Amino acid sequence: MKKLNIILLMFLIPALGFGQLYTRKEIKIPDIPGYLTLKCDLHMHTVFSDGNVWPTVRADEAWREGLDVFAISDHVEYQPHKEDITTGIGRSYEIAKPRADELGLMIIRAAEITRDMPPGHFNVLFLDSISALYKDNFWQAIQAAVDQDAFIFWNHPGWRQPDEIPIWYDEHSRLYDEGHMHGMEIVNERSYYPLAHQWCLEKNITMLGNSDIHNPTGMDIDFAEGAHRAITLVFAEKFTEESVKEALVKGRTAVYYKDMLMGKQEFLKPIFEKSVNIANRSVELGPGETFNLQVTNNSEVPFILEAAEGEKDIFYQENVTLYPGRTSIIRIRSKQIAEPGIHTYTLRFVVSNLLTGVETGLPVELKFKAKIVD
């Protein structure tokens, strides 16, 4: 019997290890009306350029970390492992795609056009041929991407600039004026570029945030402390490459970075509204009485609320944080002069970590009904 137990244990331990390895942490940010909220990382590297992992590892990491879409964008011009990895960079997509398909992920064929600043580095997505980008001249490489109807975005615009503050050069004006500056990273890895954020808003350029990961993600991201990679939220009609491209071209994106979301109000507001639920929308209280409004945040993003102009008949907390996956209390007190009857009250806040502008939080409202009794 003891021998049998040992044999069973020998089979059980590997099985337990296998089960632990293949688990997926979903990113709890809801779909919004009319669109799927796809979690995307569109800038990463493998050993086929200057990364330190095999392409299939990128697919496994993407699945485990809750992504829906990813792009391996190995450098066209910079391949430090080329003495050992002798095939072209397009091979990384070919190796990763079967694994991505097996895991139900979308992988986009991509590459990074890599030049000194200016003009810098540019990712090109939805390619038919990566080898067509091998050009001595930057503008010829961009034209080769344009000829394939690629989506082109400026990577880490603060790269190698003093204090990581981006500089808009003549080369960028030419790209923009010719209609080839489709997107821009306002977040790259651990860096946020407020000026790039402002440019995207002013010039109607699609906002992106990506990891630009080179090492295994577990080496660079402290998952045990709740950290996550920077990602782009793409609001697509369907889970297809065509829908993702259409959403990127039309600027239907937001950026998830640390505990912040950055994007247009038309996308951030429904994320907040779909994430938040008020348990007690109807209450009864007398003048001067206090009650607790219970608000649940079903997303994984904390919502840091700062009170805006309030209702005239009630007092409520000026600052409150709606923690992820928890129910928080907002203390409310009616004024002594509150008129009897049934009233609908609106609590107005600004969510300071949901940025619709560089220093502009998302305005939101929480509504409830109260029966004021004598």
Based on C-alpha coordinates, what's the Rg of the chain? 25
> What tokens appear for 239 in the block?
């889970």
pLDDT tens digits, one per residue of 128-150: 999 999 999 999 999 999 999 99
How would you class 110 by CB atoms within 10 Å of its CB: exposed for 0-12, middle for 13-18, buried for 19 or more? buried
* 365 CB-near residues (< 8 Å, 6+ apart): 346, 347, 348, 349
pLDDT tens digits, one per residue of 275-286: 999 998 788 877
* 30 CB-near residues (< 8 Å, 6+ apart): 37, 271, 274, 275, 298, 299
d(CA 109, CA 156): 20
Q: Are 361 and 354 in contact (CB under 8 A)?
A: yes
d(CA 40, CA 110): 13
Dihedral sign for Cα 296, 359, 223, 154, please: positive
Q: How far is CA 148 from CA 51, 121, 128, 142, 174, in A?
A: 26, 18, 7, 10, 19
Domain range annotation of the chain: 25-258, 275-372
Q: Which residues pair with 374 in a beta bridge?
A: none
Q: Are 372 and 339 in contact (CB under 8 A)?
A: yes
Give the CA diameter of the chain.
85
What's the 3-state SS for the chain? CHHHHHHHHHHHHHHHHHHHHCCCCCCCCCCECCEEEEEEECCECCCCCCCCCCHHHHHHHHHHCCCCEEEECCECCCCCCCCCCCCCCCHHHHHHHHHHHHHCCEEEEEEEEECCCCCCEEEEECCCCCHHHCCCCHHHHHHHHHHCCCEEEECCCCCCCHHHCCCCCHHHHHHHHCCCCCEEEEEECCEECHHHHHHHHHHCCEEEEECCECCCHHHHCCHHHCCCCCEEEEEECCCCHHHHHHHHHCCCEEEEECCEEEECHHHHHHHHHHHEEECCCEEEECCCCEEEEEEEECCCCCEEEEECCCCCCEEECCEEEECCCEEEEEEEEECCCCCCEEEEEEEEEEEEEEEEECCEEEEEEEEEEEEECC
Dihedral sign for Cα 158, 163, 167, 171, please: negative
CATH topology of domain 275-372: Immunoglobulin-like (2.60.40)
Whole-structure pTM value? 0.92
Q: What is the pLDDT at residue 83?
A: 83
Q: Which CATH superfamily, name and number, covers 25-258?
A: Metal-dependent hydrolases (3.20.20.140)
pLDDT tens digit at each of 374 positions of the chain: 555 555 555 555 555 555 455 899 999 999 999 999 999 999 999 999 999 999 999 999 999 999 999 999 999 997 888 888 878 889 999 999 999 999 999 999 999 999 999 999 999 999 999 999 999 999 999 999 999 999 999 999 999 899 999 999 999 999 999 999 999 999 999 999 999 999 999 999 999 999 999 999 999 999 999 999 999 999 999 999 999 999 999 999 999 999 999 999 999 999 999 999 999 878 887 778 888 999 999 999 999 999 998 777 788 888 999 999 999 999 998 876 667 778 788 999 999 999 999 999 999 999 988 877 77
Q: Are 337 and 249 in contact (CB under 8 A)?
A: no
d(CA 350, CA 316): 14
Q: What is the pLDDT at residue 19?
A: 47
Task: Taking each helix axis as running N to C, give the angle between helix 91-103 and helix 55-64, from 0 to 180 degrees, rounded to the nearest 10.
Answer: 30
